[in-house]
A = this chain, B = another copy of it.
């Protein structure tokens, strides 16, 4: 595998970018943050949102780019906040979610991430990669690392800690985003290897 590949990550979220940068650096991909105004669509399906954003990103930048979209799906709340996790985090925050789950015993939830890559050639070609992590919503916020709903999410694979109690490196062992990004990275490296034969 050759070193020195660059991948352009269209995002306005510096925390996401930091996570992606570390994960993609493992197989030798340099991630560059590209800030573009993208109009996300409303859909209950994160795959569709990510695909539409990637297509718009590639059209606007005229470059091959990728985006990442993720959501927290809480079983007792019929999947809420799901695709609207970022808006719900901004308005209700972790305390709002804890209030909605007050006296609720069934606290199962999962994080789901979709990485969508779009080539800039015509026709535009899309590839999606996803990652999921099962877990539970904690009884209260714990930890100060990570971002978003991390302080209230305990992954099943390490249920004693919330994501916010883990170092970035430890969170990347379990997280939905890391899983999706690693699938993307494997494919991206392969694709470049073929082009550089």
Contacts and interface: CB of A to CB of B under 8 A. Distances in A.
Interface of A: 39-44, 49, 52, 77-84, 87-88, 90-92, 96, 99-100, 102
B99 A77 contact: no
Nearest to A44: B87
A184 to B, nearest CB: 23
A100 B91 contact: no
A157 to B, nearest CB: 27
A99 B126 CA distance: 41
B100 A92 contact: yes
A39 B39 contact: no
Contacts of A39: 41-43, 52
A91 B99 contact: no
Contacts of A77: 91-92, 96
B102 A90 contact: no
B91 A78 contact: yes
